Amino acid sequence: MSPDYTRSHQQPVNIDDRVLKGDATAQKLENATLKAELGNASWKLLHTMMAKFPDKPTEDDSAALKSYIHLFARLYPCGDCARHFQKILAKYPPQVTSRSSGAAWACHVHNVVNKRLKKPAFDCSKIGDFYDCGCAEDPVPSKGVKVTKDSFTPLTLDDKEGLTRGG
């Protein structure tokens, strides 16, 4: 008999801060090749997700993205990376009020990791070209959002959410 997945789907998910910011779950990842492959794929996912995030998100969209980022950090399957990234999130809280602020934030925290690993910094002013959101291909544009080929708005760091220590 196959498991009843619908039952667990019906249970409400209440995610509080304790769940979002709890201890990282994974063990240290010793295999350097796996660690690099995982990192590469994960950054691609994160940056592309930002490029596809709504320009004008609803409160729910923003809450979902913020939760996702904290859970991404907590569950990241390289334990030492996860613990470091959680510290980075505590210092630079996710910015989720628009596509451009999210993309700028992700670029910034990736550069923090790059610096720690002695990799060159990425020029975040180029991020809109690099991770093309592909918005022009969307058959159904978001309500109220004017879609053009170059619809990636210029990057700004949102002071309100504080890309600063301890914000």
Nearer Cβ to ligand FAD (9/118): 118
Q: What is the DSSP string of 11-68?
A: S-----HHHHTS---SPP---HHHHHHHHHHHHHHHHHHHHHS-SS--HHHHHHHHHH
Structure tokens at 7: 């039952």
Please report whether residue 68 would count as binding ligand FAD according to CB under 6 A. Answer: no
Binding of residue 91 to ligand FAD (CB under 6 A): no
Of 54 and 77, nearer to ligand FAD (C-beta) is: 77
Which of 84, 132, 147, 151 contacts ligand FAD by CB under 6 A? Answer: 84
Nearest to 151 by CA among 131, 166, 136: 136
Shortest distance (Å) from residue 34 CB to ligand FAD: 10
- According to CB under 6 A, which one of 21, 26, 35, 79 is a site residue for ligand FAD? 35
Piece of the chain touching ligand FAD by CB under 6 A; list 5-13, 49-57, 114-122, 151-159: 114-122
**Residue showing the smallest CB distance to ligand FAD in the complex:** 39
**Cβ(156)–Cβ(141) under 8 Å?**
no
Q: Which is nearer to ligand FAD, 66 or 110 (CB)?
A: 110
Query: Cα–Cα distance between 49 and 106 in angstroms, integer?
Result: 10
